Amino acid sequence: MTDKYKIYLAASAGGHLTQLLKVADTFKNYEVFYVSTLDSIAKTLERKGTFYLIGECNREHPFQVILVFFKCIKIILSKKPNVIISTGAAPGYLLCLVGKLFGAKIVWIDSIANIDRLSLSGRLILPLSDLILSQWTEVAKLEKFQRWLLWRQIARNFFFLKPVYWPQVLFRPIQRRLEWW
Pick the range with the lowest mean pLDDT from 65-74, 105-114, 137-146. Answer: 137-146
In a domain, 118, yes or no: yes
Beta carbons of 149 and 130 less than 8 angstroms apart: no
Q: What is the number of structural domains in the chain?
A: 1
Q: Which domain holds residue 48?
A: 6-180
101-138 confidence digits (pLDDT tens): 999 999 888 877 777 888 888 888 888 888 888 877 77
pLDDT of res. 147: 47
The C-alpha atoms of residue 55 and residue 31 are separated, in whole angstroms, by 23
Higher pLDDT: 147 or 118? It is 118
Which CATH number goes with the domain that contains 153? Answer: 3.40.50.2000
Residue 1 resides in a domain:
no
pTM of the predicted model as reported, rounded to 2 decimal places:
0.77
Domain contains 42 = yes
Answer whether residue 95 shows pLDDT above 70: yes
In this structure, what DSSP letter does residue 141 have?
T
For residues 132 and 85, the answer to whether their CB atoms sit within 8 Å is no
For residues 156 and 153, give the distance between their C-alpha atoms in angstroms, rounded to a whole number.
6
